[in-house]
Amino acid sequence: MKEGKEVTRREVLGVIGALGASAAVVGSSAVMASSLSTVDSSDAKSGQGGCSRGLEFPHTASTTVEVVTAQALAALTNNADAMVSTTSSWDQNFVFMKSNANGEIDFFKTLFSLEDIWQFFSANYTRVSNPGGEQRLSELSGTWYDLIDSRYNQFVLPDGPTLTQRGVFLFTTWPDGVAGHFFWAEPTWAQPFDVEAPVELTNKLIAYEEAWRSGDVEARLALIEDVQTRSSARVTDLTGNRRSRFVAETKEELRAAWNLPSAGTVVELERIHHVVSTFYVFAAYKLVLIVDGEKVIRETALLLPLGPNRKFIGEMSYSFESTP
């Protein structure tokens, strides 16, 4: 387990995650037939908690959509300075992941500073450019996060071709820009839903939550891929005074991370909503935890990429918290 360093324009938004020409090309019948299911907390399994108190964010009703759109437009300039200018100076947590045709996670990039972000996009824009032409498949927004599933185009420099790809983007925001940016490219093992697939994946999410709630790390790990596993989680309080982050590239590292004091002990856990797709599950939560002996209120946006064995690859998450 590694500690880390301390709406909208529909035609453009999918281009932000420009990860390079080697990402899997979308277009198979399985991909085109895929679907998505969204469920509210009103449909959640009873006993999931009831965290009545939420956090008080400095965001307005339009902060997240404005911040994410600004970075989308910056991405169309193919300019690293523009990307940095739309990234929050308050926090930076960018995590990009994709797999190859052999079913292996072959790209896992973490960017935890403005300099890291500038260096990455400066290099990336020498290989690909973003011509626009995004097809939004779904979007789910909260006060401080935005989940977008889209197909988008990238032109491979200098002479092409243009690749059409699919990915899921999870953005977290602060009033001055994008604070968190998670990207998971659709893998080759994604298969179309049948009638029972949303139920199957929702039940896996419920099992994950029950293990999380009870503090059973081993039961939670049983839902994670054995080999193809990657995780990154960021937690910050609303003052910015207490922050933590972990990056895990093995189940052993993930076990250690989930046992860290900063993971806390769950007192209450309420799922606000969740999204089930052919290559990921997303959920948003309100929690009450005990962290280092202190009660905290936390909100979490959690992306769980699906692996080749229909287990979760790991967690990609961002959380805000505050003391009551």
Position 193 scores a pLDDT of: 87
> In the beta sheet, which residues pair with residue 169?
148, 183
Position 51 scores a pLDDT of: 62
Give every residue of the chain whose pLDDT is below 50, as ranges. 2-49
What is the pTM (predicted TM-score) of this model? Answer: 0.86
The CATH number of the domain holding residue 48 is 3.10.450.50
Position 102 scores a pLDDT of: 86
Place of tokens 């659709």: 186
Q: Is 222 left (phi over 0), alpha (psi -120 to 50) or beta?
A: alpha
Is the separation of the CB atoms in 179 and 58 below 8 Å? no
Which residue range is the domain that position 180 belongs to? 2-322
Q: Where are the beta strands (DSSP E) in 45-92?
A: none
Residue 17 vs residues 76, 99, 251: alpha-carbon distances, Å:
11, 14, 26
Position 297 scores a pLDDT of: 97
Q: How many domains does the chain have?
A: 1
- Closest-CA residue to 233 (of 214, 215, 217, 253): 253
Residue 8 vs residues 141, 182, 290: alpha-carbon distances, Å:
12, 19, 38
